[in-house]
Amino acid sequence: MRVSVRSSGFVCTLCRSKQSRTVGAQWRRYYSAKESPPKTITIEGRTYPLDSHMNTPPAILANIPRRLHLQKDHPLSITRQIIESRFPDHKRHNALFPVVSVHQNFDSLGFAPDHPGRAPSDTYYINKDTVLRTHTSAHEADTFRANESAGYLISADVYRRDAVDRSHYPVFHQMEGAQTWDRRNFSPYVSLADAIWADVEALPKHDIDVEDPNPTIHPERNPLQRAHHSPEEVEAIAAHLKRSLELVVVEIFTHAQRAAAGTDETASREPLRVRWVEAFFPFTSPSWELEVFWQGDWLEVLGCGVTKQDILIDAGVPERVGWAFGLGLERIAMLLFDIPDIRLFWSKDARFLSQFKEPDGKGEESGMMWDVKRFQSFSKYPAAPRDVAFWLPSTTSPAGGQLPATSGVPRQFHENDVMEVVREVAGSAVEDVRLVDEFVHPKTGRKSLCYRVNYRSLERTFTAEEVNALHEKLRKRLTEDLGVELR
């Protein structure tokens, strides 16, 4: 399920051969509307037709083969294994292909036609019917339809156009899980609710402090799916869901506390506190977020709820009921290993990756025995901020500007367009991008924006010449790609 916590090959003709480089250059010229685009694209042996909806740059496609959540000794892979250890009977799906249909990504989950998540400012399109998945829930209906197990876990790389800062990256990783029961088969119990309560009792106990002040069902804030579930069934499903996820939190933060104590002799082992907060998600009702009190603050860890029955009905398993959850692996790993910058997950620097290698050299299956170490950051290299100010193209639109048309289709300016150009030009050389000023001319009505681009390497100090050259390239690309006028 898509939740607010957050953060990749294209054995592809864009990056891996002489022909690829030709196609890549051709595609960049297409962004500038100077040349017709290629008609198809091949991603890891699968070919897709292209049309004017294509907005996925080569740099994003080149990350597909990385699959960090499966890379041995990578912090995201370790985090995945820690969570999976709490669901030993769940079927695992860790290698699902990231290119999915619009139907899988949006329609099967009930996204409205005008939902902002469908916008090309938020989503990477291959063509009008095909996208890079924006969440692991793109596979939810298909997994329910296959009905291979009562419980499942999906871990995958997901893709969204987003801000440039220490906690956001256009490729990040999610994990979701679900548990269902068949309401036709609850023998030897009197009711389905009794069968689920028996499963609750079979789960391990814990001794953490849990705050859960709200009723399971609230008619306005957290409604019952009255046409499909009884209150007794939902109480039992919610109890199983909450106990299962509390045990996940115990596992994760026990590792985190051990790591903190191992690197700081003065670190106190404060009792673990969690709380349940009412929430809203399109795929569940009732719904909750789970927060953990960690190092003096409440942190949102995951979202979850009772699965919308319409999803199960549409998937061809109307007899099943259950729960689902979703979380961002980067968010958990950054807490677990004290990693300060999401770019580090993509580092190939041995100094970073060697910190997570199992000392006994055992394979992934023994990863649960690994002694989690707190992340030791690289020395802090200095930042090199540069500002870029520009006028948006003239327009009467309240959005502030229209971009040059692609295939005759006007595109409204969106801040994510700036972020995309920054990533294409500078990649991981930029730590963050912030809007620092905006101005509307009182006579012309034109809008001016000023962004501060903070160049900072994770591995060395940039020279002024290097930063100036990158920034000048960025300024040029902003004018070419977005049609802005530099100030």
Residue at token pair 């729960």: 323
Stretch 111-117: mean pLDDT: 90
- What percentage of the chain exceeds 90 in pLDDT? 67
Alpha carbon distance 464, 468 (integer Å): 6
Q: Per-residue pLDDT tens for 447-457?
A: 999 999 999 99
Alpha carbon distance 30, 37 (integer Å): 5
Residue 14, token pair as written in the block: 């864009």
Rounded alpha-carbon distances, angstroms, from residue 466 to 64, 86, 138, 163: 28, 48, 41, 23
Alpha carbon distance 247, 405 (integer Å): 52
How many residues are given for the chain? 487
Q: Per-residue pLDDT tens for 172-188?
A: 999 999 999 999 999 99
> pLDDT confidence of 110, banded at 50, 70, 90?
confident
Alpha carbon distance 404, 143 (integer Å): 41
CB 24 within 8 A of CB 58: yes
Residue type, 363: G
Average pLDDT for the chain: 84
Alpha carbon distance 89, 3 (integer Å): 24
Q: Has residue 468 got a pLDDT over 60? A: yes
Distance of CA 318 to the CA centre of its chain: 29
Q: Which residues pair with 438 in a beta bridge?
A: 449
> pLDDT confidence of 267, banded at 50, 70, 90?
low
Alpha carbon distance 447, 481 (integer Å): 18
Q: Per-residue pLDDT tens for 12-63?
A: 222 323 323 333 443 554 445 555 668 999 999 999 999 999 999 998 999 9
Q: How many CA atoms lie within 13 A of 217 on its CB side?
A: 15
- What percentage of the chain exceeds 70 in pLDDT? 82
For residue 3, what pLDDT is reported? 34
For residue 296, what pLDDT is reported? 85
Distance of CA 123 to the CA centre of its chain: 12
For residue 246, what pLDDT is reported? 96
Rounded alpha-carbon distances, angstroms, from residue 40 to 31, 366, 381, 406: 16, 43, 42, 17
Q: Per-residue pLDDT tens for 187-200?
A: 999 999 999 999 99
Higher-pLDDT residue of 393 and 269 is 393
Could you tell me if residue 296 is left (phi over 0), alpha (psi between -120 and 50 degrees) or otherwise beta?
left
Most confident of 3-17, 287-301, 385-399: 287-301
Alpha carbon distance 24, 394 (integer Å): 31
> From the DSSP assignment, how many helices (H) and strands (E) are in the chain?
12, 19
Alpha carbon distance 258, 278 (integer Å): 30
168 φ/ψ angles, rounded to the nearest 5 degrees = -130, 140
Higher-pLDDT residue of 466 and 14 is 466
Stretch 68-81: mean pLDDT: 94
